[in-house]
Amino acid sequence: MLLVCAALAAGTTFARGDAARVPLAGAPDQAAADVLHVARNQLGDTYAWGGNGPDAWDCSGLTSLWRTVGGATGMPRVSRDQQEWTVPVAPWDVKRGDLVFFGHPVTHVGIVSGGGYMIDAGASRAQVVERLIWKTGVIRYGRVPRPGMPKVAPWTPPPLPSPVPQAPVADSPESAAAAPRAVPAPRPAATTPAPVAAPPAAPLTPLAGLPGVQKGASSAVALKAVTNARSVVGRPAGPKGWTDVALVRTAWKHAGGGVLPTDRAAIVKRATPVPLAAARVGDLVVYDRPDIPHLAVYLGHGYMVSASERYGKVIVRRVYDAPSVRLVRLG
């Protein structure tokens, strides 16, 4: 059975003014809460050099959630540049959502999650994990510049030691690029033509037009349904796992929303169309493509919970643009 968050069961809402948002949960501001909320949804995702999500990440790709979710539009992609761009923070002034950088020069970065822990994507663990911040080597902290950024206490960072030449940990493209490269041996002339690799699939474009701030409050059933859908993130999807219809039906049933039809089209027919600009947490994202019809649960901030057959599991991902995409709301 799906687990419903105790806080929601007790009546807690995600409202902040007229915007439904994730709770602060100890974060210094709403932006940090949003980043940590989405980062935790990626726990268990695969580590991949150069990965930017939605199902595989490298270290600075994960911390770049500050740009896509936290509103830090000027944030660089590379961890060394991120370290130079952030505001230095004393170890005793670190807050949830700050970034922690390792090495001199920087070879790795994570998001401080509180209590001495961080969320990071590293080659050593081969996935996104939440773990203790290790204390060896050169460690620096930085606060992401953004509107309303918590004040940084005056502090003069100590001088850094001279960089020690070493092969960096390849937790990100920039660290791998800095590693010495072996000179390959001459290759013999090919006797048969090499196979031509298929061109990579075009990247999906995030859907434009979704609101940055939600207008109006989501219903209690919708919020509980979102919590239910998020509780199975990482579970298998496809013929032997969760389907998009099963995810929506189960999430709504256990949220007290009643039993929905078993047919995707019937679920959509029961719902009310919603303009993109009026999207709320808990709405359904509908893709009407005849080859790949799909339903997903909208999380806000341009993200959705999706039982993805392509990735083989339930994931949190950006709402992507497609000619057939639309939003509907269950009453």
| Structure token digits, residue 278 | 């009026």
Round to whole Å and give the CA distance between 311 and 55: 7
Asked if residue 76 has a cis previous peptide bond (ω within 30° of 0), the answer is no
Task: Give the pLDDT of residue 54.
Answer: 84
| Structure token digits, residue 117 | 């822990």
* Helix, strand, coil share (%) of the chain residues, nearest 5: 20, 25, 55
Q: Is the pTM of this model over 0.85?
A: no
CB atoms closer than 10 angstroms to residue 180: 6
Could you give the percent of the chain with pLDDT greater than 70?
A: 80
Could you give the percent of the chain with pLDDT greater than 90?
A: 37
Task: Give the pLDDT of residue 183.
Answer: 45
Round to whole Å and give the CA distance between 308 and 294: 9
Q: What is the pLDDT of residues 247-296, one digit of tens each?
A: 999 999 999 999 999 999 999 999 999 999 999 989 999 999 887 899 99
Q: What is the pLDDT of residues 2-30, one digit of tens each?
A: 332 322 222 222 222 223 345 565 788 98
Phi and psi torsions of 241, nearest 5°: -140, -150
Give 214-269 as a DSSP string.
--SPPPHHHHHHHHHHHTTTTSBBSTTSB-HHHHHHHHHHHTT--PPPSSHHHHHH
CB atoms closer than 10 angstroms to residue 200: 6
Round to whole Å and give the CA distance between 83 and 161: 16
Residues 58, 301, 255, 324: is their CA dihedral positive or negative?
A: negative
N residues, the chain: 331
Domains of the chain: 19-175 (3.90.1720.10), 220-329 (3.90.1720.10)
Q: Are 170 and 103 in contact (CB under 8 A)?
A: no
Q: What is the pLDDT of residues 181-200, one digit of tens each?
A: 444 455 555 454 444 444 44
Antiparallel, parallel or unpaired: β 56-57 and 46-47:
parallel
Q: E strands of 108-147, at which residues?
A: 108-114, 117-122, 127-132, 139-143
